[in-house]
Structure 1
Amino acid sequence: MDVDLMELLITYDVDTTTPAGQRRLRQVAKACEGAGHRVQKSVFEVVCDPAQRLRLEATLTELINPRTDSIRIYQLTKGTLATARHLGAATNPGHHDPLVF
């Protein structure tokens, strides 16, 4: 693993009671899909460098309504994603494989 890379767990809860909220949800999901792997409906695992993290956080900050929406970003110890245990219908993303759009 590259020394400059970090592992993040991103979770979000976007208020979808309005059409604007539904649009924000799609935009947040799209931004996260561009950065990492969806492992649950509102949970992404991301491997990125510090500059990519700052850009992603800035994008997410612009997209959400801070009064009604919530995004949590956890920085994990390197190697944590590789040791995650999956139960049930879980995915096993290749975190260090190139993302295909």
Structure 2
Amino acid sequence: MELLLTYDVDTTTPEGRRRLRRVAKLCEGHGIRVQKSVFEIITDDQTMLQLTYDIEDLINTETDSVRIYRLPHSGTETVQTLGAAALHPHHSDLIL
């Protein structure tokens, strides 16, 4: 499944800034950052449930917001970009 995950973490406190870093690091382990707080993620149901659980464990549910959108099949391949935005190849080989 293809997902678009966005988050808005309240960073007015040191604890909030730590939560922001932890959420970003967690998302970086699952997908490609396409904007500062936006990730495109390709995953399966089990990993998506684990990701959701892990994020819920990190955030402050009273001040932070996370949205996860399920994209249609091949949704990341049909993105139109403007400006400095770049398309990222999700299904090609990853070189580390």
Instruction: Identify whether the pair has TM-score above 0.5, normalized to the shorter chain.
Output: yes
Paired residues in the alignment total 96
Work out the CA distance in 1 between the residues paired with 2:10 and 2:40: 22
Where in structure 2 are there 5+ consecutive unaligned residues?
none
Query: What TM-score do the two structures reach when normalised by structure 2?
Result: 0.94
Give unmatched runs, 5+ long, in structure 1: 1-5
How big is the alpha-carbon RMSD for the aligned residues of Structure 1 and Structure 2? Answer: 1.4
Q: Which residue of 2 aligns with 1:3?
A: none
* CA offset digits 1:31-88 (Å, max 9, x no partner): 1100000000000000001111011101100000000000000011111110001111
- SS of match in other structure, 1:75: strand
Look up the match of 2:84: 89
The match for 1:32 is 27
Indicate the SS of the match to 2:42.
strand
The alpha carbon displacement at 1:18 in A equals 0.2
Identity between Structure 1 and Structure 2 (%): 56
| 1-structure distance, mates of 2:46, 2:52 | 10
The offset of 1:97, in angstroms, is: 3.6
CA 1:29–1:57 in 2, change beyond 3 Å: closer, same or farther? same
